[in-house]
Amino acid sequence: MIHLRVVAPPELAAQAADRLVRSDAVSSVVHLRGAATKPVGDLILCDVAREQASVLVSELTDLGVGREGSITVEEAPTVISDAAERAEVAAPDMAFGDEVVWEDVEARTSEETELSINFVEFMLVAGMLAAIGILLDSPILIVGAMVVGPEFGPLAALCVALVQRRADLARRSFIALAAGFAAVLPVVYLATLALRALGIAPDRLPEHPLTLFISHPDPYSVLVAYLAGTAGILSLTSAKSGALVGVLISVTTIPAAANIAVAGSYGRWDEARGAVLQLVINLVAIVAGGLARLYIQHRVYERRKRLAAASAARA
């Protein structure tokens, strides 16, 4: 279930409460008149079946609640109520997107695109872990770099931006990715040179058969990246965040970028070119996989909105 908290002026709150009460997918509606002081108005609390949450929030937004007041969307993981169970049963059960709360997805992905010092630091830490993993031929360090790397957030946001045709979100996602990788390449390159100068790293790039897949893409690289993008969007839109860790371990974008820098510092341009190809394949296939799944989910959501509007018009 999803818990909604709505604050609105009295006349607008009355319309919002009426809309929520009329929906079979809503339970436990509480209308506290005059409870809000900033802005002055009423407070409405209710539980909504997850499948219908975005449609109802969209309708409240169309009423002007978001402009004149506020709508807060929260997860309600445990609701003990027969009325809530009836609301969930009454909600339309539609495949490929029946549990997406689009407002939550938009908020989370928008936050992930913020270019900050923390984002760049995570990129650099992941890049250095990957570089050391390549020098030591350690798959464990490569996996660690995959988990630490924050680049999937902007990639997911880019999928959302393309589906919703939001140029501002797409621009922020691209800038975050570009800035992050632009920071990783020179830092890892110079750090590898420094390690060589200090005698910590060998004079010649050692053979690393256990991590060679980073710079030798094959058809499996495309398939894995595509599936990772699909699974990542599913995790994001279904609030199953535990699956996202597995997705991150499948994404070799940061290790590929680090391999470009490490190979370049040793003059191994053949390996650097392979890592460039691996990086491009990962970025394109991840976005393609996520975009395909998200497009289907968004089409289902738009269809549900039209059905709800038609039902409201008949009422």
Express each pLDDT in 27-46 by its tens digit. 999 999 999 998 899 999 99
pLDDT on residue 91: 75
∠ at Cα 96 (94, 97), nearest 5°?
75
pLDDT on residue 97: 47
Architecture per CATH, 2-93: 2-Layer Sandwich (3.30)
Mean pLDDT value across residues 223-229: 90
pLDDT > 80? residue 296: yes
Confidence of residue 96 (pLDDT cuts 50, 70, 90): very low
pLDDT on residue 55: 87
pLDDT > 80? residue 92: no
Q: What percent of the chain has pLDDT over 90?
A: 52
- Range in 77-81, 215-219, 234-238, 249-253 the model is least confident about: 249-253
C-alpha neighbours within 13 Å on the C-beta side of residue 306: 6
Q: So where are the chain's domains?
A: 2-93, 104-301
pLDDT > 70? residue 180: yes
Q: What is the chain's length? A: 315
- Decide: 130 and 259 in contact? Cβ < 8 Å: yes
Partner residues linked to 43 by β-bridges:
7, 32
pLDDT > 80? residue 307: no
pLDDT on residue 226: 92
Partner residues linked to 74 by β-bridges:
3
pLDDT on residue 312: 63
pLDDT on residue 112: 73
Q: What are 306-314's contacts with CB under 8 Å, separation 24+? A: 307/92, 308/52, 308/55, 308/59, 312/19, 312/59
pTM for the structure as a whole: 0.80
pLDDT on residue 239: 59
Mean pLDDT value across residues 187-192: 97
- Range in 89-93, 129-133, 167-171 the model is least confident about: 89-93
- Alpha helices by DSSP H, 149-252: 152-164, 167-197, 219-238, 242-250
Mean pLDDT value across residues 89-101: 64
Average pLDDT across the chain, whole number:
87
Which residue in 223, 6, 232, 183 sits closest to 103, CA to CA? 6
